[in-house]
Amino acid sequence: MTSVLVFGFCVTVSLVLALGSVSAQPTRAFFVFGDSLVDSGNNDFLATTARADAPPYGIDYPTHRPTGRFSNGLNIPDLISLGLGLEPTLPYLSPLLVGEKLLIGANFASAGIGILNDTGIQFLNIIHIQKQLKLFHEYQERLSLHIGAEGARNLVNRALVLITLGGNDFVNNYYLVPYSARSRQFSLPDYVRYLISEYRKVLRRLYDLGTRRVLVTGTGPMGCVPAELATRSRTGDCDVELQRAASLFNPQLVEMLNGLNQELGADVFIAANAQRMHMDFVSNPRAYGFVTSKIACCGQGPYNGVGLCTAASNLCPNRDLYAFWDPFHPSEKASRIIVQQILRGTTEYMHPMNLSTIMAIDSRT
């Protein structure tokens, strides 16, 4: 989707208190894989058009400068780290990720990618998921040199992992243009089944690389983002076809995760119902303090959903009143709502358990 973190002590503490952190846990590493929803700046180091390295991105970040996050401020991985009392992870490509910083974990995500390697090819040089997994293996080799092979293995086994994939495989592949190559190759139901089968291989590879606690987010309401309202909706209603894609993909993802867990004999993979998390405030924005869930804070054209968010774009004065920051991505406030459900949500949001429960269970082992 078109779609160096340095916190002062006071900033970190205030953000943790604002989120209401889970009870103190022994420090554990956090690894992030996926697309622009969770990219913390890797694409800033790449020759790609999928970048968030210019104002007004980062306008509400503690430094008030762009960081490569597709947000006005903090993104979902940042907020998970802060909610757990962990230091936020650095992008893997950051030159600051050396020495003791390796113990925190790393963010491998890259804007524009999908489950499939042909997703996002228009963005040129991005880190496709197979490359992200190779970099994770490289990270473990670097970590082994720092703390030894056994220490590295234990750190990865105990780590928390977040992976967010799938949305781009629809909006930046299957539905990117009329009669796209993938839409000619597959009917939508067959395409979804193919995506799920390929995603299963990715997740199994993550397990083989040593991860044992993996949060897997489904797709959000793709047809309801301002970009799709601007290009595919005449009435302002969510696009039916993209919503149909999400309604096919998400249940099959949960079913696949359940099957993997049964095969492995443990709750390794945790499903986060991103569709439900988003639809709460998309369908009733005022209940969550937003004035709109249709119009992006930053953009141009109908619903501020056309093109990129740039210094020349329309920019709302109060980002907390908008569910969407730019044509595709949630505002920091919306991301906070999502992370609260990840941390404490019922089984309607997190299956088979939320992150607070995971942390409590893992603290006893």
What the block records as the tokens of 232 is 């595919």
Q: CA-to-CA distance for 142 and 4, rounded, in angstroms?
A: 20
- Burial of residue 365 (number of CB atoms within 10 Å: 0-12, 13-18, 19+): exposed
Q: How many Å is the Cα radius of gyration of the chain? A: 19
Q: CA-to-CA distance for 128 and 150, rounded, in angstroms?
A: 29
Catalytic residue among 3, 21, 36, 331: 36
Q: 332-344 and 76-83 helices cross at what angle (nearest 10)?
A: 50
Q: 240-264 and 188-208 helices cross at what angle (nearest 10)?
A: 40
Residue 60 is among the residues annotated as catalytic for this protein:
no
| Strand ranges, E, within 184-262 | 214-217
Taking residue 213's Cβ as centre, other Cβ atoms within 10 Å add up to 21
Instruction: Report whether 105 contacts 93 (CB < 8 A).
Output: no
Residue 329 is among the residues annotated as catalytic for this protein:
yes
Taking residue 45's Cβ as centre, other Cβ atoms within 10 Å add up to 18
- Nearest by Cα to 60 from 45, 49, 50, 75: 75
- Nearest by Cα to 111 from 65, 67, 141: 67
Backbone angles phi, psi at 251, to 5 degrees: -65, -35
> 40 - beta bridge partners?
69
User: Exposure string (b/e) for 116-141, b if CB count within 10 Å is 16 or more?
Assistant: beebbeebeebbbbeebbebbeebbe
Residue 326 is among the residues annotated as catalytic for this protein:
yes
Catalytic residue among 44, 169, 239, 326: 326
Q: CA-to-CA distance for 60 and 66, rounded, in angstroms?
A: 9
- Nearest by Cα to 317 from 298, 293, 299: 298
Instruction: Report whether 68 contacts 5 (CB < 8 A).
Output: no
Catalytic residue among 94, 329, 335, 356: 329
Q: CA-to-CA distance for 161 and 52, rounded, in angstroms?
A: 23
List, by residue number, the catalytic residues: 36, 326, 329
